[in-house]
Structure 1
Amino acid sequence: MKKIAIVAGGSGLVGMQLLHQLFQEQAYDVVIAVGRRELALKHGKLVQVKVDFETIQNVDLEDKLRENDFGGRNHSLISSLNSKIFAIHAFCTMGTTIKKAGSKEMFEKIDHDYVINYAKWVRALGATKFLFVSAIGADQQASFFYNKVKGKTEAHLKQIDFTYLGILQPSLLLGNRKEVRIGEDIGKILGRIITSFGLLKKYKPIPDYKVAKAMIFHALEKNELRLEYIPSMAMQDFD
Structure 2
Amino acid sequence: MMTIALVSGGSGLIGMQLLHQLFQEKAYDAVISVSRRELAIKHPKLVQVVVDFDQINQVSLLDKLREKDIGGENQAIVRALENKEAVIHAFCALGTTIRKAKSRDKFYKIDHDYVINFARWAYSWGASKFLYVSALGADQLSKFFYNRVKGEVEEDLKVIPFQYLGIFRPSILLGHRKESRFGEDVGKVLAGAITALGLFRKYKPIYDHKVAKAMVHQALNDEREKVKFISSKEMQIF
Q: TM-score, normalised by structure 1?
A: 0.98
Q: Is the 8 A contact 1:2 1:27 kept in 2?
A: no
What is the 5 A alignment of 1:109-124?
109-124=109-124
Q: Deviations over 1:62-108 (max 9, x none)?
A: 11111142211111110011111110000000010000001000000
Alignment of 1:97 onto 2:73: no
C-alpha distance in structure 1 between counterparts of 2:222 and 2:153, whole Å: 25
Equivalent residue number for residue 23 of structure 1: 23
Q: Is the 8 A contact 2:131 2:166 kept in 1?
A: yes
Displacement of 1:22 after TM fit? Answer: 0.4
Q: Is the 8 A contact 2:32 2:47 kept in 1?
A: yes
Displacement of 1:231 after TM fit? Answer: 0.4
C-alpha distance in structure 2 between counterparts of 1:70 and 1:32, whole Å: 16
Alignment of 1:8 onto 2:8: yes
Alignment of 1:226 onto 2:226: yes
What is the 5 A alignment of 1:27-176?
27-176=27-176
C-alpha distance in structure 2 between counterparts of 1:68 and 1:111, whole Å: 28
Displacement of 1:173 after TM fit? Answer: 0.3
Q: Secondary structure at the match of 1:28?
A: coil
Q: Deviations over 1:192-228 (max 9, x none)?
A: 1000000000000000000000000000014111000
Q: TM-score, normalised by structure 2?
A: 0.99
Displacement of 1:122 after TM fit? Answer: 0.3
Which AA in structure 1 matches 2:45?
K
C-alpha distance in structure 2 between counterparts of 1:143 and 1:228, whole Å: 24
For structure 1, the 5+ residue unaligned runs are none
Displacement of 1:128 after TM fit? Answer: 0.3
Q: Secondary structure at the match of 1:34?
A: strand
Going from structure 1 to structure 2, the CA distance change for 1:39 and 1:155 (only over 3 Å counts) comes to same
C-alpha distance in structure 2 between counterparts of 1:12 and 1:29, whole Å: 23
Q: Which moved more, 1:144-153 or 1:219-228?
A: 219-228
Q: Is the 8 A contact 2:2 2:80 kept in 1?
A: no
Q: Is the 8 A contact 2:33 2:47 kept in 1?
A: yes
Please identify runs of 4+ aligned residues in structure 1 that moved more than 3 A.
none
Identity of aligned residues (%): 61
C-alpha distance in structure 2 between counterparts of 1:102 and 1:154, whole Å: 23
Q: Deviations over 1:14-42 (max 9, x none)?
A: 00000001000000000000100000111
For structure 2, the 5+ residue unaligned runs are none
Instruction: Give me the CA root mean square deviation.
Output: 0.7
Q: Which moved more, 1:65-74 or 1:20-29?
A: 65-74
C-alpha distance in structure 2 between counterparts of 1:204 and 1:106, whole Å: 29
Q: Secondary structure at the match of 1:158?
A: helix
Q: Is the 8 A contact 1:14 1:208 kept in 2?
A: yes
C-alpha distance in structure 2 between counterparts of 1:48 and 1:105, whole Å: 28
